Amino acid sequence: MTATEHTRCRHCHRTLRSARSIALGYGPTCARKIRRATAAQADQHKPAAVEKARELIELGAITPLRGRRIFAVVSSDGARTYKTAAQGCTCPAGIKGRHVCYHRVAAAILGLAA
């Protein structure tokens, strides 16, 4: 990283300075908020969905569209994007509505972390 290059937190968009924060993509405060929100969601959803949601957040594959309520999410294979919120998702699993998809879990985690 050069002296003029800046990396920003994926959650609050503040400038990241430490090598650990830059590698993680989140500052220490945002990372702590996301960890706590993930732990809060762990007992409400299937463990596999929480783990996939955590991975989605770590990879930066979920980005806010409007505030912290509606998000754009990249599909598992990277070919499509979906719109999601804690209440619903446009992915095939979200449209069927039988189970809460991991996109919705990730949106709920980021909503709690705000």
Compute the distance between CA of residue 100 and CA of residue 112 in angstroms, rounded to an integer: 17
28-42 helix and 102-113 helix, angle to the nearest 10 degrees: 130
Task: Identify the three-state secondary structure at position 59.
Answer: helix
Compute the distance between CA of residue 49 and CA of residue 114 in angstroms, rounded to an integer: 20
Residue 48's pLDDT band (boundaries 50, 70, 90)? very high
Residue 55's pLDDT band (boundaries 50, 70, 90)? very high
Q: What is the pLDDT of residues 2-20, one digit of tens each?
A: 444 558 888 888 999 999 9
Average pLDDT in the chain? 88
With beta carbons less than 8 A apart as the criterion, state whether 65 and 72 touch. yes
Q: What is the pLDDT of residues 73-101, one digit of tens each?
A: 998 888 999 999 989 999 998 899 888 89
* pLDDT at site 6: 59
* pLDDT at site 2: 47
* pLDDT at site 114: 78
Residue 56 confidence (pLDDT) above 60: yes
Per-residue DSSP letter, 77: T
CA 15 to chain centre: 19
Per DSSP, which regions of 1-114 are E strands?
Answer: 7-8, 15-16, 62-66, 70-74, 81-85, 88-89
pTM listed for this prediction? 0.81
Residue 1's pLDDT band (boundaries 50, 70, 90)? very low
